[in-house]
Amino acid sequence: QAFLTAAPECTIVLNDVEATLLQGKSLLSQSMTRQVRLRDTVLHPCVNADLYRTSRELKFQPIDGSTFELFRCSIDPYVSPPINVSCLMEYNQTQHNVRITSSFIVRKKHNLQQRPITNFTIKFPIPSSWSSLFLTESKFGQKRTIGSTAALRGSFRRKIKTNECQIETHLGSAKYEPEHQAIMWRLGSYSNTSQPHTFTCEIQLKSGMQKPDMQNEQAVVTYAVPGSSTGISVKGFHVEGEKPETWVKYEIQYKYRVQMFPDLSID
């Protein structure tokens, strides 16, 4: 997000292998040990694309006061995300019910004490015809959405149920959120691998309700991690006509999809 006066040109230089080669430097030098190769780069329209192709410098005039994605790319070599999430949706055609289970494991190489995971959410999309199953009537006759919130930071299991559905979690909170048309398992900040971390939802479908798509159901995983485990780093930053204080905050925003049926690959 940029808050600058007079729309000055900004330049960012990353530790890109191609930039080093274009400068005529050797990849065998000591400084090349932390270089990465950026592939399939997509640039924001404010970036000078011609200059990027010839120098690999990101020169741009930022959009004042707006949040925007400067560029997107793939990284070689590929770096696995710190959390391995598994999700499963099972459909019983005879009893016409659905069971969703999910759990996750933090990879051993990731140090949670030094780099805690924040804004951790797993989204389970639900067909719109199922939304009524997650509503219960209050004593005042109003409809409210049922959900499950784990007590004492996940020390106790919390189970919420109606005649048609049951949601259970050991950590965080989980409920159907109409604005997302999904069950949202919100874990917030996560820094303790000793806590149980499972989610279960059982749904009894009514006659005529849409069946789950057995090929395309996917959960969406999002979270943030401080630091840079991808290998990308900023080598230089310049603002035209200014001498800004050099300060770079590294934070990785993860977002990926997980297939919810057995024997299907993770995207």
Instruction: Tell me whether the omega of the peptide bond preceding residue 77 falls within 30 degrees of 0, making it cis.
Output: yes
Sign of torsion over alpha carbons 2, 225, 27, 73: negative
- Ramachandran angles phi, psi of 198, nearest 5°: -125, 155
Per-residue pLDDT of the chain (267 residues), as tens digits, is 566 666 788 999 888 888 777 766 655 554 545 778 888 899 999 999 999 998 889 999 888 777 788 888 888 767 788 888 999 999 888 888 999 999 998 887 777 777 888 999 999 999 888 888 887 655 444 445 555 554 333 333 455 556 788 888 888 889 889 899 999 999 888 876 656 688 999 999 988 888 888 778 899 999 998 877 777 888 888 888 777 666 777 888 889 999 987 644 333
Among 205, 191, 106, which residue's Cα sits nearest to residue 154? 191
- Ramachandran angles phi, psi of 33, nearest 5°: -65, -20
Per the structure block, which two tokens stand in for 112?
Answer: 């949670």
Nearest 10 degrees: Cα torsion 219, 225, 231, 232:
100
